[in-house]
Amino acid sequence: MKLKIGIILLLVLISAYLGTKIFQKPTVQTKIEQIKQEIVPTKPIHLDSTGLPNRYLIEAPFVEQAPKKDWSQPWQDACEEAALLTPYYYYSSITPSSDQIVQDLTKIFDYENSQGWSHDVNLEQMQQIAQDLWGLSSEIIQNPTVDQIKERITNNQPIVVPANGKTLFKENKHFKAGGPWYHNLVIIGFDDDQKKFIVHDVGTQFGAKFKYSYSLLLKSIHDFPSTLNKEDIDQGDQKVLVLLK
């Protein structure tokens, strides 16, 4: 009898112990380890032969050229001004509201009118806007290469790009009417694995962190032509603008 009672007591103790282990709450450390196992690791960043990373992104704010979705003038041709505001806001650590974008774009329009300029401006005029309104110096790079662009981006310098929008349309179908003849956007990053630049394309509401292939974007680069005729965009110089903090 005593042996049976001993066996029963032993079984009760074992059951109680196992029940405690089964229903015991996991510790914080256990949860952390579980989460680590569930997280899919991101692709590692590595340096190429030039010492540049294989990808990089500047977290600059996205500025739409028509922040209130009004595509009448002057908003229809405000891509240059919106592109200029992108590095200005980034350097100033400003996250603008749509009202502030409208206000700041209007200041640029007023400045352009005071200079007697049309609503289409070239890179030299954009340099003057940045200097006179915000005190920012700048640099124009002629015939930029992929590596030159990547070097500036890794130095946290967004790059303003004048371009043939008809060429960009080949990879960006968000444009209307096959894309604009003259357009501006801002390069904010790159991804060597995809061979693509990451841009804020101010011309569509879907333009934030949009990606264009290296080859197509370089091909599209043309400043506003000296003929002042948009259709002659491919005669414009291949150059880009870097505002300096």
How many separate helices (H) and strands (E) can be counted in the chain?
8, 7
* pLDDT exceeds 90 at position 20: no
pLDDT of amino acid 45: 76
Question: For residue 74, is the peptide bond before it cis, meaning its omega torsion is within 30 degrees of 0?
Answer: yes
Identify which of 209, 216, 207 has the alpha carbon closest to the alpha carbon of residue 174. Answer: 207
* pLDDT exceeds 70 at position 3: no
pLDDT of amino acid 6: 54
Dihedral (Cα; 117, 110, 177, 86), 10-degree rounding? 110
From-to residues of CATH 3.90.70.30 in the chain = 55-244
* pLDDT exceeds 90 at position 131: yes
* pLDDT exceeds 80 at position 140: yes
pLDDT band at 4 (very low <50, low <70, confident <90, very high): low
Query: In angstroms, rounded to a whole number, what is the distance separating the alpha carbons of residues 138 and 158?
Result: 11
Pairing of strands 137-142, 196-200: unpaired
18-27, 101-110, 208-217, 231-240: segment of lowest average pLDDT: 18-27
Q: Which residues pair with 184 in a beta bridge?
A: 162
Q: What is the mean pLDDT of residues 75-95?
A: 97
* pLDDT exceeds 60 at position 43: no
Q: What is the mean pLDDT of residues 139-156?
A: 98
Q: Which tens digit of pLDDT belongs to each residue from 215-243?
A: 999 999 999 999 999 999 999 999 999 99
Q: What is the mean pLDDT of residues 117-122?
A: 95
Q: What is the mean pLDDT of residues 113-120?
A: 95
Q: CB of 163 within 8 A of CB of 183?
A: yes
Write out the CATH class of domain 55-244.
alpha beta
Mean pLDDT of the chain: 87
* pLDDT exceeds 70 at position 14: no
